[in-house]
Chains A and B, each alone.
Chain A
Amino acid sequence: MYNLGKSKSKSKSDWFAKLDQINDATRSNYFSVLPEEAELQHFFNEAFVINNPKGRVGGDGYWFFNQGSEAYLALFSCVGEGHLASMMIRIYMEALKKMVDGYSIDFPGSILQFLHREVMARFKSKNNILLNTNADVGIVKVDLESKQMEFAGANMNLLKVQRSGITIIEGEPQQVGETSEQLTSYPSNTVEYENGTCFYLVSPGVNKLIGGPDFKKLDIDLLASFFRENRPKAMGEQKQLTEGYLKDWIGSNTQNDDVLIIGFKL
């Protein structure tokens, strides 16, 4: 039990400003569980993360695991938003770590399949669960030494942008983690690339951002064209430009979903 002492705030407006200054523990927890952008930059040399939850916490997350010349990078977007979705972030982080670091499952498609089973098994016997357990996930495995790359997606695609154009590497249309009996397989796609190729994983909330000249949802093809225009630029600069692009797109409208974009250049 804690007793509040005599207040020093004489006015309510003063108090409101002070409420905002109190560190919201859930926000700190949300960001602290996610890898640092610097970890990705250390491995890929050039990478960025834009993570703007709609509220103080979000249902979008990412996971990164590096061993020697190999790395796994997953972006996942849990259904729902706010604090319950944020709890699911930690469950997905743990499950991904268990699949790759614990069970040494090394194909992105197999990781998604096992992730699906892991989440399904965890929640299947629970009744009256109030949160959504499913998520869109995209996972890439990169080996910088052999220059091999694989991608698998569960309702998520990978954008590949190079001099010759934009390629959308499609994932399966099925999310992971639904507590149904349906068996799902997620094939791993081999991804060829040349030096200077940029890749982007984009959470589904980006596509829901309303704005632009015609007050429409942000089309992913439009965003991909923007990425292509800026492909020669360094990823740090691309990050700034992308943040500006999203801000301009939203304009005075309210951000209506969590936004997470990860870009890296190989």
Chain B
Amino acid sequence: MDNRKEEFESTCNLFINSISNYFKHLTEIDSDMKVPYLKESQGLILKDFTGMIGISGGRKGFVYISANKDMFADLINMFIGIEDPADEDILDMAGEISNVVAGNVRANLGANFMISVPTVFKGMPEELEIPEDVLVYVIPISWKGHEAFVVIGLD
């Protein structure tokens, strides 16, 4: 059991490092990680735009990155130069960041850690459910004054 917990924590740390590196290297502005916490799947929080990725292989679960429009708009302005992005651009940015962050974790964990392509949505789709039997780890992030959540659920 301790080994499983350690493995879970080390996987979560990989996600923390990946998101931290994303902001640090690509935006040259550090993000501020708040104290992560464990949570039950019920009552999880989603911001306006979310990119969610399924995890399979040795561990099963999901990771999602959720933030409001302003944060993705800032990233788009920085990366692409669009000053007033449409919702379509915001959704693509949410998909891009989820993909890059999860892809970097996959590169560290090897072939036994498989990730799906991101499912990106605005708000909360009716079909969205989180399985009850997963450990859910919430990492609140602040970047340029914007609040976001990275949420990892692993069996």
Contacts and interface: CB of A to CB of B under 8 A. Distances in A.
A131 B80 contact: yes
A15 B129 contact: yes
Contacts of A57: 92, 95
A82 B130 contact: no
B131 A9 contact: yes
A1 B60 contact: no
A26 B117 CA distance: 11
A25 B99 contact: no
B132 interface: yes
Contact of B133 (A12, A83, A86, A130): A12
A33 B87 CA distance: 13
B26 to A, nearest CB: 7
B134 interface: yes
A156 to B, nearest CB: 24
Given A19-B119, A130-B80, A131-B80, A7 B41 contact: yes
B80 A129 contact: yes
A25 B134 contact: no
B32 interface: no
A24 B121 contact: yes
Contacts of A169: none
Interface in B35-55: 41-47, 52, 54
A84 interface: yes
B43 A4 contact: yes
A254 interface: no
Given A3-B45, A4-B41, A84-B92, A24 B120 contact: yes
Nearest to A3: B43
A7 B26 CA distance: 36
Nearest to A124: B81
A90 interface: yes
Given A4-B41, A16-B54, A56-B117, A9 B129 contact: yes
Interface string A74-87: 00000000111011
Contacts, number: 135
B127 interface: yes
Interface string A53-73: 001110000000000000000
Contacts of A128: 28, 78-79
B69 to A, nearest CB: 13
Contact of B89 (A1, A4, A5, A87): A87
A3 B95 contact: no
A182 to B, nearest CB: 21
A18 B62 CA distance: 12
B96 A82 contact: yes
Contacts of B28: 128
Contacts of A84: 79-80, 92, 96
A21 interface: yes
Contacts of A123: 81
Nearest to A84: B96
A163 to B, nearest CB: 43
24 contacts: A1-B47, A2-B123, A2-B124, A3-B44, A7-B132, A9-B131, A10-B132, A14-B131, A15-B130, A16-B54, A19-B62, A20-B119, A21-B127, A22-B52, A22-B128, A24-B119, A25-B120, A26-B92, A26-B118, A26-B120, A87-B80, A87-B93, A130-B80, A131-B80
Given A16-B56, A56-B95, A90-B88, 10 more contacts: A3-B46, A8-B129, A10-B133, A12-B155, A29-B92, A83-B96, A83-B99, A84-B80, A122-B81, A129-B81
Interface of A: 1-12, 14-16, 18-26, 29, 33, 55-57, 82-84, 86-87, 90, 122-123, 126, 128-131
